[in-house]
Amino acid sequence: MCVGGLPPPARRSPPPPLHAVKICGVTSPADASAAVAAATAALPPGVELLIGMIAHPPSPRHVEAAAAAAIAGVARAGGATPVVVFVRQTAAEMGAYLHAAGVDVAQLHGPAAAAARGGLPPAVRVMRVVHVAADGSYSAPPPAPAEGGGADGDWWTVYDAGSGVCGADGVAKDAGRVAAFLEAVAAARAKRVGRRGDTAPV
């Protein structure tokens, strides 16, 4: 789970409201286009689609900045928000990659990247990772630095799918799995709204 804005409490019941869904580890414009089409069909108004790209060479789903730029263009054309996931980069490396890719949202997945966020350009919005335990508890991520760049994004909770929606090679996305995941998220959201008897975003 990823968050932006104010960190959640150490534990919360029911789960935090759903503001966005991210398909992560996208490696091609074609996969981004398929995810956008599936989200258009499945997600209700008010739930944003994020297209995640991994900037971490050890990952089989790593993409260079030029490829990320092409994927980001498809994402934006379909109304989705492109996001780059960083693990070990310095602030300068992250800033250079984001500039080359034309992306202004960074997910800081590793402690090294998280520690460097204060050096990011002020225009960059940051997503922080929250690890959820088997019992449903989770810890708040570190707060934003008092000075420097890397402003928190305006999401509260983002549900994230990566390798679980890949095909047999573990890299390319399986369009059927992506669609099924998004449909399941939409169904769970509708069930929660119906159970609560209101139309508040969840």
Query: What is the residue type of 120?
Result: L
Tokens of 19: 């503001």
Place of tokens 């996208």: 26
Tokens of 45: 């108004």
Q: To the nearest whole number, what is the mean pLDDT of the chain?
A: 80
Place of tokens 């730029």: 69
| Backbone φ, ψ for residue 88 (5° rounding) | -125, 5
User: Per residue in 74-107, pLDDT tens?
Assistant: 999 999 999 999 999 999 999 999 999 999 999 9
The helix/strand/coil state of 88 is coil
Look up residue 190 and give its DSSP letter.
H
In 78-174, where does DSSP find H-type helix?
91-101, 111-115
CATH architecture of 2-8+29-194: Alpha-Beta Barrel (3.20)
User: Per residue in 3-50, pLDDT tens?
Assistant: 454 344 444 445 555 678 999 999 999 999 999 999 999 998 888 899
